Amino acid sequence: MFDTVPPNLPIEPAAKKPPASPLMPPPAAAPTAPKAPSAAVPLTPLATGQTRKEPEDIFKDLDIGGAMPEKNSIRELASVAPRRSPLLIAGVIAVGVLILAAVGFGVWYLVLAPQSAPKTAAVQPSAVTTKPVEQVEQPPATPEEPVTVPPTGANIPAPNNTQTPAATASEAAAPTTDQAPAAVAAPAPATIAEGKDSDSDMLTDAEEALLGTNPNLKDTNGNGYDDGTEVMNLYDPLHKGAPLSGNAGIKAAAWDKYNFLLPVDWSLTTDPVQSGAAVVQTGTSAKITLLLRPNPSGQGISSWLGLQPGDSSLKPLKLKSGNQAMQTADGLTSYVALGDSVLVVSYDAGTSPTYDFRTLYAMLLNSLQLAKAK
């Protein structure tokens, strides 16, 4: 039954032809050979009166023996497709590189840069310009005044930084106990120079005028002693061996219970308000103040002042009268023990630019003594 091939099976397609060479024109298509008739297949006889019907060919519409498209046709299709320009490709690559560079810089700026930056940012100078300030020439600074160490005894009041006029100092009430006097500010010698001494005999020219000695001769009476040395030891520089009290320019003065010597041209004024205070006027701004303070127990001057051992703020002063005395380092305030009192004697130059009466101040101290009882 199956010894022969059924007539309704499809026929195998013919083998494809190789593509023609691109250099040669394609050959003309060969005429398609007519299909060979299928081998006769014996049919089974049908019954009487029946007609034999062939099965439908389902592959009739297929082009089984069709040829492949030619190569020229493929080239034409390829030429129609759009081409990529080299400049376009290079631009795309450049844009990609720029994007990557921007991303890398952003990562470095946000992550790496803050770690390497200093903790404190440098202060940028202001861009605002200011008008230069006109320079004004300043006068030279005044040199500082030297400091004199004040007394530090327990009974010595704290020093005042300013000079106290005699009238103001005398307003303080006199103490009723044997204590040190109220503050008597010694004048600061910072800007005050020593008085002019033309012959260097320890008498200033102003003192020589009061005593009548020669300001250009050290030893006026020719006894071998300088004029100033004689005055401080209570000798007359005009007459050999004569006491100073006999000099025409000197007078004896008395105040309270004390006697002492003063130049004739000087005056002694007792404070009308405060007892125990007096002022010696020199006829200039300089003056000498006297303050009397009680010492009923007769203490030694160091004990009365309350000086501590080794205190060098005051120095012992040897007087002609033999009375105990202490003096400040600047030589302008002296404490003299006289009987049951202590006399505080201070030299104040006032507004004078020089100390003109140091030797006469020493003369007053050396001549202090208690008045003889009558």
Quickly list DSSP for 217-263.
-S-SS-SSS-HHHHHHTTB-SSSTT-BGGGSTTEEEEEETTEEEEEE
Coil/strand/helix, residue 348: strand
pTM summary value? 0.53
Tell me the CB-side half-sphere exposure of residue 262, using CA atoms within 13 A.
20
Tokens of 267: 């005056």
Cα 97 versus chain centre, distance: 55
Whether 57 and 8 have beta carbons less than 8 Å apart is answered as yes
Q: What is the pLDDT along the chain (374 residues), one digit of tens a residue?
A: 455 555 555 555 555 555 554 444 555 454 554 454 444 445 445 444 555 555 666 555 555 555 555 555 555 545 555 566 778 888 888 888 889 888 888 877 777 665 554 444 444 444 445 554 544 444 444 444 444 444 544 455 443 433 443 344 334 444 444 555 454 555 444 589 999 999 999 999 999 999 999 999 999 999 999 999 999 999 999 999 999 999 999 999 999 989 999 999 999 999 888 889 999 999 999 999 999 999 988 888 888 998 888 888 899 998 988 889 999 999 999 999 988 999 999 999 999 999 999 999 999 999 999 887 66
Whether 36 and 5 have beta carbons less than 8 Å apart is answered as no
Domain architecture of the chain: domains with CATH: 166-183+194-370 (3.40.1000)
Tokens of 350: 């006032």
Q: To which residue do tokens 């026929």 refer? A: 11
Torsion of CA 126, 132, 136, 141, to 10 degrees: 20
Tokens of 323: 């009375």
Dihedral sign, CA of 359, 364, 368, 372? positive
Quickly list DSSP for 153-207.
-TTSPPPPSSPPPHHHHTTSPPPSSS-PPSP-PPPP-SS-EEPP-TT-SS--HHH
Amino acid at 6: P
